[in-house]
Amino acid sequence: MEQSKQLLGEETLFGVTQIFKALADPTRVQILNLVQDQEYSVNDIARTLGFNQTTVSHQLRFLKNLRLVKSRREGTTIYYTQDDNHVLELLSQTIRHVEHH
């Protein structure tokens, strides 16, 4: 008889569901896709995606708490870029999958 797979621990299960929660929001997907290859300020993200600055700041805080984006301060401006290649690769593969069909 084949050995059954071990159940996920609570911490792992919570982390996985939080990442999928992050990827379930269209605004967060747009932000992650944008910051995948270069850094952007909050204003640049808002202008590029057509969102207001408050919405972008709120979503960036959510993504930063999950360590999906990281920030760097330069003077009074904070720049954001991706911080997790694994999740961004998952996002890229999903985008390619959807665009293929």
* pTM reported for the whole predicted model: 0.86
Question: What pLDDT does residue 6 have?
Answer: 86
The strand order across the sheet containing 77-82 reads 40-41, 77-82, 69-74
pLDDT, tens digit only, all 101 positions of the chain? 456 678 999 999 999 999 999 999 999 999 999 999 999 999 999 999 999 999 999 999 999 999 999 999 999 999 999 998 899 899 999 999 999 87
| Structural domain contains residue 5 | no
Q: What is the CATH number of the domain that holds 24?
A: 1.10.10.10
Asked if residue 37 is part of any domain, the answer here is yes
Q: Cα separations (Å) of 11 from 16, 49, 85, 96? A: 9, 33, 21, 30
Count of alpha carbons within 13 Å of 64, Cβ hemisphere only? Answer: 14
The domain of 84 spans 16-98
The count of domains in the chain is 1
- Residue 57's alpha-carbon distances to 48, 88, 100, in angstroms, are 14, 20, 32
Beta bridge partners of 77: 74
